[in-house]
Amino acid sequence: MMANLPKWYIDWIPRVSDIVSFIFPFKGEDKRRYKEWLYGKWINDKIYLKEAQDVWTFVHQQLENYLNWEEQETKHKLYSLHKKEIDNWIKFIKDIKKKYKKKDWWKYVAEPVLLDEYWRYQGSSDLVLINNKKKEVVVIDWKTFWIAKKRWNLPNKYKKPYDKIKKGKLQFSLYGYTFIQQWYKVNELILVYLRDDDYYAYQLEQEDISSLDNILTLYKQHLLNKNIIMTTNIWTIKAPLKIHLQTAPKPYQNISVDLDLSQLDNGQTAEEAINEAVRVQKLLHNTYINEKQ
């Protein structure tokens, strides 16, 4: 489906955020350290996340208003606090418009709903530039977590953001994939960070299609086998997908099977390889239980 869809989601179709969170989960030790860091600064993590969400919603709405030629909510209490960030975003839009001019058949679409042709996932990018004549697109999304930190006077140091770009690359590549399915070329994937001193734009590469298909297959299998604990590691953008299937039914011993989706043979598909790994894992587990009994 194309970028000018109405702004809605289908309840039962996974979102891009669900898939990204599955591949790069924020839990365990990372989550514990994050909470301890906030508590060490006398900040309740629930209050912090609530205010961060409020800021995210407001700022994104102002950017969408600008794109749709609607008035800014200048009387809102958050507007004066974050006017610099909003102004820097408008600066980015003016810069990008110099490169992709409307007279060259480029159309700007704010918050389009993007749907995978097989209905494996859906998502909404903040902005898509689409050229139906040339069959080309530019996918743009902006992040506002630095703005939330500003509210609490938290450290706002410049560093390579969004988990070293890995999460962003997967997120944007899934957006871009919906256009590739429609025979469009993805010209650019642009991740924009808003701060009060300037904007920071990063060029991301479109992930390999076979890797995305493997990830989507893995996520589908995860939904079908929730009794199996499945974790994945993507070591680098082009590197193999390594899957670890594990059960931990107390009081029995863990039984696990490792699978590398980059090393498929005999014409196996990713789904066939995963199904076989799950079958072997269950077989080993049942054998272990029978021996103990």
Check residue 184 and give its pLDDT: 95
Check residue 129 and give its pLDDT: 94
- 3-class SS letters over the chain: CCCCCCCCCCCCCCEHHHHHHHHCCCCHHHHHHHHHHHHHCCCCHHHHHHHHHHHHHHHHHHHHHHHCCCCCCCCCHHHHHCHHHHHHHHHHHHHHHHHCCHHHCCEEEECCEEECCCCCCEEECCEEEEECCCCEEEEEEEECHHHHHHHCCCCCCCCCHHHHCHHHHHHHHHHHHHHHCCCCEEEEEEEEEECCCCEEEEEECCCCHHHHHHHHHHHHHHHHCCCCEEEEEECCCCCCEEEEEEECCCCCCCEEEEEEHHHCCCCCCHHHHHHHHHHHHHHHHHHHHHHHC
Check residue 91 and give its pLDDT: 92
Q: What pTM was estimated for this model as a whole?
A: 0.72
Check residue 237 and give its pLDDT: 32
Parts of the chain with a pLDDT under 50: 1-6, 158, 227-240, 248-252
Check residue 254 and give its pLDDT: 55
Q: Residue type at 24? A: F
Check residue 92 and give its pLDDT: 92
Check residue 281 and give its pLDDT: 64
